[in-house]
Structure 1
Amino acid sequence: MKRLFSLLTSMVVSLTMMAQGWPAQYEGVMLQGFYWDSYTDTNWEKLASQADELSQFFELIWVPNSAYANSTSNNMGYHPVYWFNHRSAFGTEAQLRNMISIFNQKGLGVIEDVVINHRASVNSNWLNFPKETYNGIEYQLTAADICNNDEAKDNGYNPTGAADTGEGWGGARDLDHTGENVQKNVNAYLDFLLHDLGYKGFRYDFVKGYAAKYVGQYNKTAQPEFSVGECWDGNKTVVTNWINGTKQDGVIQSAAFDFPLKYYINDAFSQGKWSRLNDGCLANDNNYKRYAVTFVDNHDTGRFGECPLYANVEAANAFILTMPGTPCVWLSHWKAYKTTIKKLILTRKAAGINNQSAILTKSASTNGYVLNVEGSKGKLLLLLGEATADTNGYKLALEGTNFKLYATENVDLSALEDIHEETFVAPSFCTVADGEVCAFFEAPTSWTTVKCWAWDANNNYTGGAWPGTTCTKVGANNGKKVWKWTYSGSLTTLPKYIIFNNANGQQTADLNFKNGGYYDEAGSLQGVVTDIRTINTIHIQPLSSTAIYTLSGQKVGGTPHRGMYIVNGKKYVVR
């Protein structure tokens, strides 16, 4: 009897610990595995094929909403129609299940993008929702489950639910979470995600659309290992009030994205306002850093017209990967700075930094910032900008543009030695002639034309009349059209800045110009296109009598692996 009581007690404690929003002392790092319109680049099969690599660095991967939204092409899924049918623009349900299974086997938990603030109808009838079956029980929403102040009431419909408990959303019908039937449907949906599909946790979309207590209730019932809410607000109090609002029986039920810190990161890394990193956010508050999911950008903020960080992106990722909280790396940054981010993650893990690690020093000056954090295995010292500090007792782990990261001497950094620089390989249709001044841009799918505006302090390189020179479409990559701008004037200098726009009010921010630069739709510089020739290893075999060297000048013996090499004085890429 005593053993049975102990077992039951253990089970209750275990369940209670799981239901506390986000694990304590958590050392994991999350990847946001998509960007807006990344259907080709991040379909389920392509993500699954990267499981071996991703699982070496990340414990969690957040994927887009997989529920069927009445279309399997060019649809991000944020207006779901079905909850128990999971075919989408990213793949079939079978492909989804296979991806989740592979990730779970590799120890990489999948976080679903849960959209329960609103629901779309199956056709032009705004209140026509599908009947679905799960575990032998039928589920369906009706007009009685839609908030009575939803836009439907002004368009010939009669929603009869209670008033909305949060902000409205005009794109789909706002659900009445006070109602028993909505709660029944949501609880079944979340159970399906966890116990049928195999997700490990939830990213709740647009949580300002309904009262926080409902996320708490749903999580207490579903018991996800991980839960994070998109409380998009730069005011820390708003975010902490939401976190506290999820409490059930006095226990917090969900973490939140640290949006206040995101805005401070923009100010610090793009404008040099380093003191902003000391302002109030979740990650530097001992009461809330456990529930802080930090990020530099995501699929929303990183889009054109939103609030992406364009400057010092690498250094900003170094910052969140040194701070407490659970860092969430955006896929676009992972692709652009993969080598550096891999080393940053390994350094964080080597020092034992977790979401509740102690910040020993956070000091801002006019020219930089010093951050000192203590992990379970050592300390990390991050110098940003031109900041300096006493590094006695520390060793340099890695450095990049505007950052240096040190670890105490006892920290084992040997894993970093296995990380080698990855070469950017542009699409084959991107070419640069000798002496050509140009740039490439992977445009949003909605853009039908692309203009370029390039300038420096003294000159304009695109005609001097906005919106600038028309770019040329040169091909498509990952489902995105790629456009090229080439300078055709007589100036012998290079532009300092560049903007891409659609001649219809949408544009990137002011980007630093890099000749031959390949920019994604968020304005991130993915790499530089050169006149380097691309060849396969089988084409090198006949050159066995010719010396092959690495970029550092070391002679290569045998068949070279993937990377960049010097052959007969020219650069070659081996894929």
Structure 2
Amino acid sequence: MKCFNLFTLSYLFLSFSLLTNFVAPTLLFQGFNWESWNKQGGLYNFLQKSVDDLARAGITHVWLPPPSHSVSPQGYLPGRLYDLDASRYGNKVQLTTLIATFHSRGIRTVADIVINHRTADFKDSRGIYCIFEGGTPDTRLDWGPWAICKNDKPYADATSTHMDTGDDYAAAPDIDHLHPTVQYELTQWMLWLKNEVGFDGWRFDFVKGYAPYITKMYMDRTRPCFAVGELWDSVVNVNGAPIYNQDAHRNELARWVQAAGGGVVSAFDFTTKGILHAAVLGEWWRMKDTYGRPSGLIGIMPKNAVTFIDNHDSGSTQKLWSFPSDKVMLGYAYILTHPGTPTIFYDHFFEWGLKEEIIRLSSVRTRNGICEASVVNIMTAEADLYLAMIDVRVLVKLGSRYDVRNAIPSNFRIAAYGTDYCIWEKQS
């Protein structure tokens, strides 16, 4: 009888969705990790075989790795930007085929845009690598040292004109985004990725490397359907633990969002990640700020916050800021039931054996229409218990405290559960 009821509810929800032109809440999937360049048979081919599972999880956008030729196999030291056949993830035909398959399932694709820096193919008369090749028979993106920020030594020379507008990136020449030729040719390359290759959106890498108004310019000129920037700063810590009030940290993210696109672009919610690291270890009081809102960027700018547990930098084999490994599902129980745009990481979905548990949570999100702007009512935030109502439809319990029966309305039923978490749905 229970199986019949679940099937009936799913069928009714699908019918309602079709009749009302329901748009699924945005759910991002990071489709790679730090070692995916070495995937047997190629990453693009692997993802091609995994589209059904991603569609079943309710994924609406897949973030793919940098697609161009790169000195590093991961793609983050790009050189010949138009050369998609030199990527270690696969070739251009495999990429465009994968994107077309995603599109056939209603899933959009997000390109990793690495434009703060670029590696050169040739040396100049000084013996410095600063002569760039674009990857085409013509002169597109064929630059010299004039395209490098004036203060980026030893790469720049007398032809360089503008100072860097952001942080230095030591591993490769910092590109001068104030130069009109750089602006025009990078814009044309991004439009080529969009119109010919098929990408729908952008993930801007290392946005600390150039001023936010530069991001806004590329946003205005390319108009992606979705865009998110990586503004990575650690949360404020004292004696090895995050302080309670992280307003300064999340306000920096919010200021970048406003300057980089007037609210059109989003930012990865590093604030939520940093606070959640400590909360899952028995400090759930951290997840409610002094105004009763969620403590991260989702508490002040949820429509522009992209939440995540780990990515190719923080987790994977780099482990630069890994989430507590035995608490990962607690993290997903939080981000998949709360506002903002959640990100599911490749490792957790494909390699950790958590796929079905993640899908149960993502299904609750989709079924109840939890979205970027969903309303959170935090009922309890104590050391061992976090209890919140989302959109008056979903009740979320996180933490080791077990008995919360008196707080559960009689018309709510369990929809998903796991170690130290339980999710209830309101019954129609």
TM-score bin (small chain) = 0.7 to 0.9
3-state DSSP of counterpart to 1:364? strand
8 Å contact 1:152–1:159 — kept in the other structure? Answer: no
| 1:253 equivalent in alignment to 2:253 | no
3-state DSSP of counterpart to 1:152? coil
| 1:148 equivalent in alignment to 2:133 | no
One-letter identity of the residue aligned with 2:110: I
One-letter identity of the residue aligned with 2:312: H
| 1:299 equivalent in alignment to 2:296 | no
Q: Distance in 2 between matches of 1:209 and 1:143?
A: 18
One-letter identity of the residue aligned with 2:278: D
Q: Distance in 2 between matches of 1:116 and 1:186?
A: 8
| 1:338 equivalent in alignment to 2:355 | yes
3-state DSSP of counterpart to 1:138? coil
Q: Which of 367, 371, 381 does residue 388 from structure 2 map onto?
A: 371
| 1:78 equivalent in alignment to 2:96 | no
| Structure 2 residue aligned with 1:242 | 256
8 Å contact 2:81–2:134 — kept in the other structure? Answer: no
Q: Distance in 2 between matches of 1:121 and 1:282?
A: 37
| 1:408 equivalent in alignment to 2:426 | yes
* 1:164-199 C-alpha deviation (Å, 9 max, x unpaired): 000000111101111101101211111011001000
| Structure 2 residue aligned with 1:27 | 25
Q: Post-superposition shift, 1:275?
A: 1.8
8 Å contact 1:368–1:386 — kept in the other structure? Answer: yes
Structure with the bigger RCO (C-alpha within 8 Å, sep 6+) is 2
| 1:273 equivalent in alignment to 2:283 | yes
| Structure 2 residue aligned with 1:565 | none
| Structure 2 residue aligned with 1:163 | 163
| Structure 2 residue aligned with 1:395 | 413
| Structure 2 residue aligned with 1:186 | 186
3-state DSSP of counterpart to 2:255? helix
Q: Distance in 1 between matches of 2:252 and 2:129?
A: 32
3-state DSSP of counterpart to 1:45? helix
One-letter identity of the residue aligned with 1:28: T
* 1:484-526 C-alpha deviation (Å, 9 max, x unpaired): xxxxxxxxxxxxxxxxxxxxxxxxxxxxxxxxxxxxxxxxxxx
* 1:262-310 C-alpha deviation (Å, 9 max, x unpaired): 10111111x312122224321122xx10001100111111144411112
| Structure 1 residue aligned with 2:14 | none
8 Å contact 1:147–1:159 — kept in the other structure? Answer: no
Q: Which of 35, 38, 53 does residue 37 from structure 1 map onto?
A: 35
| Structure 2 residue aligned with 1:290 | 303
Q: Post-superposition shift, 1:78?
A: 0.3
| Structure 2 residue aligned with 1:90 | 89
Q: Post-superposition shift, 1:151?
A: 3.1
One-letter identity of the residue aligned with 2:175: L
Q: Post-superposition shift, 1:326?
A: 0.6
**Structure index of larger Rg:** 1
| Structure 1 residue aligned with 2:330 | 315
* 1:188-214 C-alpha deviation (Å, 9 max, x unpaired): 111011001000100000001000011
| Structure 1 residue aligned with 2:400 | 386
| Structure 2 residue aligned with 1:103 | 102
Q: Which of 341, 356, 365 does residue 326 from structure 1 map onto?
A: 341
Q: Post-superposition shift, 1:367?
A: 1.1
Which has more strand, going by share of residues? 1
Matches within 5 A, 1:470-485: none
3-state DSSP of counterpart to 1:299? coil
| Structure 2 residue aligned with 1:349 | 366
Q: Distance in 2 between matches of 1:79 and 1:278?
A: 39
8 Å contact 1:150–1:159 — kept in the other structure? Answer: no
Q: Post-superposition shift, 1:159?
A: 6.1
3-state DSSP of counterpart to 1:151? coil
Gaps of 5+ in 2: 1-22, 236-248, 290-294
8 Å contact 2:304–2:340 — kept in the other structure? Answer: yes
Q: 1:38 to 1:29 in 2, by over 3 A?
A: same
Aligned residue pairs, count: 371
Q: Distance in 2 between matches of 1:362 and 1:86?
A: 50
Q: Post-superposition shift, 1:157?
A: 5.2
| Structure 2 residue aligned with 1:361 | 378
Q: Distance in 2 between matches of 1:283 and 1:203?
A: 19
8 Å contact 2:398–2:422 — kept in the other structure? Answer: yes
3-state DSSP of counterpart to 1:139? coil
3-state DSSP of counterpart to 2:298? coil
Which has more helix, going by share of residues? 2
Gaps of 5+ in 1: 1-24, 411-575
Q: 1:258 to 1:404 in 2, by over 3 A?
A: same
Q: Post-superposition shift, 1:152?
A: 2.1
